[in-house]
């Protein structure tokens, strides 16, 4: 009997025991959906994370008072936290660093700022940052309209600001934001420029941002907890290690780190942030795989039960086929084909749902839409193996039935 005929008979058998088959297909589909869906969303997020951090470039690094605090769940080590970096320490480093590189000093004023203009205001989720005139170049932002904050405005603490794309669109729908006045906290600021869209991924980067001169943050927002960040960008990636070495030596001197003492600060390379996040979600990948396999194991047991029941119910049919010349191998192949067809129907359903759910999660958190060919092939392969494993024993049992005893059944 040919493969095509076996598939036709398998589809006919599926229609003949619709309820049990549909339940098994749904169990298989759920397992594949969980596996493909979570792995698809993770792959999409990984791509988005890499894209987000690549905007900062692989030729820059930051000097901070703590490492990156990136965790998924309860695992991982807590980053070291050192005494805060003061404004004067950051400025001293910037003035004394003579390596061919751009140095920018910045500080976060608040993660929950509200920007107002007239009767319009943003949600209280705007990152208000104090920056200098070099921050735009070292951070990967671009000016969309207007101009950058100047060095004179930074030194004088002028009330000027740059607005992220989301902020500008919220406060100035359909009109130019440049040269308008906005309220940042209790103060009025003149908008000198808007930033081009940067996008966001899992909270990093983003367009919900307002940049003001760093001296303003020191004067209006500084507290005992305020710490400053130094960003260094070298012209070429090859010069990065030398710049890091020189920066370490200089900042140890600025921070008065004695000989033999460890650094009282952390140096984090921009492209290493993506690796931290990606490594943090490896546990989620493992959990998704385990969940998918456990669900498929349950589905395989259910499928084997359906096939055994099918063999019992079709004992007389098997006897008739054998009496008409069907070989044991033909009977075995027929039942194996039925098991594989049921599994593939569930697998295809699960793959489609998994891709839709995975990409839906990815798009909801700023990721991109992808077609996960690797996980599609994995799903198809797993369903084929589950079908063979579940159908093998019932198929062998059916092929070994004695045709005379089978004809006497019922």
pLDDT one-digit tens code per residue, 42-73: 777 766 666 655 555 567 889 998 865 544 44
The whole-number pLDDT of residue 48 equals 65
Q: pLDDT band for 199, please (50, 70, 90 cuts).
A: low
Computed over every residue of the chain, the mean pLDDT equals 81
Does 61 reside within a domain?
no
Higher pLDDT, 92 or 336: 92
Instruction: Give the mean model confidence (pLDDT) for residues 382-399.
Output: 81
Does 221 reside within a domain?
yes
The whole-number pLDDT of residue 13 equals 67
Quick check: 367 pLDDT over 70?
A: no
Does 269 reside within a domain?
no
Does 75 reside within a domain?
no
Does 59 reside within a domain?
no
Quick check: 76 pLDDT over 60?
A: no
Q: pLDDT band for 325, please (50, 70, 90 cuts).
A: confident
Q: pLDDT band for 81, please (50, 70, 90 cuts).
A: confident
Mark whether 229 and 135 lie in a shared domain.
yes
Quick check: 33 pLDDT over 70?
A: yes
Closest CA to 124 of 164, 175, 168, 184: 184
Does 73 reside within a domain?
no
Q: Cβ(233)–Cβ(240) under 8 Å?
A: no
Range in 258-262, 274-278, 328-332 with the lowest mean pLDDT: 274-278
Does 273 reside within a domain?
no
Mark whether 198 and 344 lie in a shared domain.
no
Higher pLDDT, 71 or 94: 94
Q: What is the pLDDT of residues 109-155, one digit of tens each?
A: 998 999 999 889 999 999 999 999 999 988 888 999 999 999 999 99
The whole-number pLDDT of residue 392 equals 82
Mark whether 302 and 220 lie in a shared domain.
no
Distance between CA atoms of 266 and 273, rounded to whole angstroms? Answer: 13
Q: What is the pLDDT of residues 1-12, one digit of tens each?
A: 566 776 776 677
CB proximity list for 231: less than 8 A, separation 6 or greater: 60, 61, 62, 63, 103, 104, 105, 106, 135, 138, 139
Does 160 reside within a domain?
yes
Quick check: 405 pLDDT over 80?
A: no
The whole-number pLDDT of residue 406 equals 62
Mark whether 36 and 151 lie in a shared domain.
no
Mark whether 298 and 400 lie in a shared domain.
yes
Quote the domain boundaries for residue 26.
Answer: 3-51+282-408
pTM of the prediction?
0.59
Mark whether 240 and 307 lie in a shared domain.
no
The whole-number pLDDT of residue 203 equals 46
Quick check: 231 pLDDT over 90?
A: yes
Q: Tally the domains of the chain.
A: 2
Instruction: Give the mean model confidence (pLDDT) for residues 397-410.
Output: 70
Instruction: Give the mean model confidence (pLDDT) for residues 223-252.
Output: 89
Mark whether 153 and 256 lie in a shared domain.
yes
The whole-number pLDDT of residue 273 equals 59
């Amino acid at each position: 009997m040919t493969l095509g005929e076996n598939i036709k008979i398998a589809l006919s058998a599926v229609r003949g025991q619709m309820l049990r088959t549909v339940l098994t297909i749904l169990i298989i589909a759920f397992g594949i959906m969980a596996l493909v869906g979570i792995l698809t969303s993770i792959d999409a997020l990984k791509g988005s994370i890499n894209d987000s951090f690549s905007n900062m470039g692989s030729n820059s690094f930051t000097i901070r008072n703590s490492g990156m605090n990136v965790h998924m769940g309860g695992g991982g080590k807590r980053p070291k936290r050192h005494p805060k970096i003061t404004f004067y320490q950051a400025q001293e480093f910037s003035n004394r660093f003579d390596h061919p590189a751009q140095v920018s000093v910045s500080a976060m004023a608040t993660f929950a700022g509200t920007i107002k203009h007239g009767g319009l205001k943003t949600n209280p989720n705007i990152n208000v940052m104090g920056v200098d005139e070099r921050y735009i170049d070292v951070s990967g932002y671009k000016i969309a309209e207007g101009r950058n904050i100047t060095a004179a405005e930074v030194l004088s603490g002028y009330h000027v600001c740059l607005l992220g794309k989301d902020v500008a669109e919220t406060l100035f729908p359909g009109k130019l934001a440049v040269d308008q006045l906005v309220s940042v906290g209790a103060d009025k600021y003149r908008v000198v420029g808007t930033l081009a869209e940067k996008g966001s991924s899992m909270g990093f980067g983003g367009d919900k941002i307002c940049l003001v001169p760093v001296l303003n943050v020191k004067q209006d927002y500084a507290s005992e907890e305020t710490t400053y960040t130094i960003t260094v960008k070298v012209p070429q990636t090859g010069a990065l290690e030398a710049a890091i070495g020189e920066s370490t030596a200089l900042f140890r001197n600025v921070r008065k780190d004695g000989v033999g003492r460890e650094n009282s600060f952390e140096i984090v390379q921009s492209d290493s942030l993506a690796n931290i996040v990606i490594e943090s979600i490896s546990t989620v990948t493992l959990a998704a795989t385990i969940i998918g396999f456990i669900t498929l194991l349950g589905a395989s047991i259910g499928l084997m039960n359906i096939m055994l029941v099918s063999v019992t119910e079709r004992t007389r049919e098997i006897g008739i086929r054998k009496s008409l010349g069907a070989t044991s191998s033909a009977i075995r192949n027929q039942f194996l084909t039925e098991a594989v067809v049921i599994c593939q129907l569930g697998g295809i359903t699960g793959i489609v749902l998994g891709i839709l759910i995975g990409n839906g999660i990815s798009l909801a958190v700023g990721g991109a839409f992808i077609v996960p060919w690797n996980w599609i092939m994995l799903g198809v392969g797993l369903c084929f193996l589950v079908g063979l494993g579940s159908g093998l024993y019932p198929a062998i049992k059916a092929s070994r039935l004695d045709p005379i005893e089978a004809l006497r059944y019922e």
